[in-house]
């Protein structure tokens, strides 16, 4: 599959006249709870020729490849990525931590990751993750149960938000270190659910443990109160502008 992904990306580079700087998995395979039928969620960051940034014609900040049951490939222009970094958007923070990297330009990930630390905004990040969790939690059926997939789409962002609040740091994307925040009995139960998911179809529904639902609701309520009491942070753009300019000049083709 990696060879197919790299072939597709190479074709996209030629067709769109861009330079892809970084490609990684961003989905259940990188989060640490894949199912046998999990697709491949590939996300990449690219840079365009300098003339594209100097034109009055607006160019697309995103490139996508037709999604099917196996592959979901899309990428963001570096300019768009850096704008989201300034807003403390979780997506680039997660992409840069992925344990599954398909391709990268030497030094790019480390440089951008270091830069990301300057734009950490715990309040924004907590509300971002709580929003994801609420969206997934709304998918409960009439019996109050979730699909296995949706359950993990709730618990991981809740734990990511809790990590942000507790450690005042960008949370890891993988479920394993996040699960250490759970009470011992829930950590054991979560590992059992990860094993179950690894052998089941993603859409299968299961009796969601009440103890987990209670923990999720209580933790979300706690985090909302904590986040509201945090100060808002705003950041300048000079360091991001410099990184963008240097990168465009380096890869201008």
The per-residue pLDDT for range 228-238, each reduced to its tens digit, is 999 988 899 99
Confidence at residue 204, expressed as pLDDT on a 0 to 100 scale: 77
> Over 90: is that where the pLDDT of 172 sits?
yes
pLDDT in tens, 173-182: 999 999 999 9
Confidence at residue 58, expressed as pLDDT on a 0 to 100 scale: 77
Q: State both tokens at 21.
A: 């700087």
**What integer is the mean pLDDT of 163-171?**
97
**What integer is the mean pLDDT of 24-35?**
93
Confidence at residue 69, expressed as pLDDT on a 0 to 100 scale: 74
What letter does residue 235 receive in the DSSP assignment? -
Nearest one of 22, 38, 35 to 72, comparing CA atoms:
38
The band of 38, judged by pLDDT with boundaries at 50, 70 and 90, is confident
Confidence at residue 64, expressed as pLDDT on a 0 to 100 scale: 82
Most confident listed range (41-45, 54-58, 70-74, 192-196) = 41-45
Q: Residue 103: CB partners within 8 Å, gap ≥ 6? A: 6, 9, 20, 22, 23
List alpha helices for the chain, DSSP H: 2-16, 28-31, 50-54, 78-86, 90-95, 108-116, 122-137, 148-167, 175-179, 184-197, 210-228, 238-251
Confidence at residue 86, expressed as pLDDT on a 0 to 100 scale: 96
**What integer is the mean pLDDT of 30-36?**
91
pLDDT in tens, 60-113: 789 987 777 788 999 999 999 999 999 999 999 999 999 999 999 999 999 999
> Over 70: is that where the pLDDT of 142 sits?
no
Task: Tell me whether strands 71-77 and 40-47 are parallel, antiparallel or unpaired.
Answer: parallel
Nearest one of 162, 85, 165 to 119, comparing CA atoms:
85
> Over 80: is that where the pLDDT of 152 sits?
yes
CATH code: domain 2-119+237-251 is: 3.30.460
What are the structural domain ranges in the chain?
2-119+237-251, 122-228
Mean pLDDT, rounded, of the chain: 92
Confidence at residue 121, expressed as pLDDT on a 0 to 100 scale: 96
The band of 139, judged by pLDDT with boundaries at 50, 70 and 90, is confident
pLDDT in tens, 52-62: 998 887 777 89
Q: State both tokens at 215.
A: 């923990």
28, 132, 177 from 156: Cα distances, Å:
10, 10, 11
Confidence at residue 104, expressed as pLDDT on a 0 to 100 scale: 96
**What integer is the mean pLDDT of 32-43?**
90
């Amino acid at each position: 599959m990696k060879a197919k992904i790299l072939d597709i990306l190479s074709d996209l580079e030629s067709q769109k006249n861009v330079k892809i700087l970084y490609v990684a998995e961003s989905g259940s395979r990188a989060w640490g709870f894949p199912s046998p039928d999990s697709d491949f969620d590939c996300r990449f960051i690219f840079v365009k020729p300098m003339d594209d940034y100097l034109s009055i014609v607006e160019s697309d900040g995103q490139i996508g490849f037709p999604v099917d049951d196996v592959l979901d490939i899309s990428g963001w222009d570096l300019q768009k990525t850096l704008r989201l970094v300034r807003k403390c958007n979780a997506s680039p923070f997660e992409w840069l931590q992925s344990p599954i990297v398909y391709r990268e330009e030497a030094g790019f990930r480390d440089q951008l990751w270091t830069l990301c630390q300057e734009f950490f905004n715990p309040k924004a990040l907590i509300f971002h993750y709580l929003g994801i969790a609420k969206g997934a939690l709304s998918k409960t059926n009439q019996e109050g149960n979730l699909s296995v997939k949706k359950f993990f789409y709730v618990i991981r962002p809740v734990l990511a938000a809790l990590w942000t609040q507790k450690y005042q740091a960008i949370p890891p994307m993988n479920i394993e270190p996040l699960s250490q925040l759970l009470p011992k009995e829930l950590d054991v139960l979560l590992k059992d659910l990860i094993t179950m998911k690894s052998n089941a179809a993603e859409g299968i529904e299961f009796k969601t443990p009440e103890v987990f639902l209670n923990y999720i609701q209580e933790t979300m309520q706690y985090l909302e109160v904590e986040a509201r009491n945090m100060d808002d942070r705003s950041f300048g753009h000079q360091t991001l502008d410099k990184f963008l300019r240097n990168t465009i000049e380096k890869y201008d083709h």
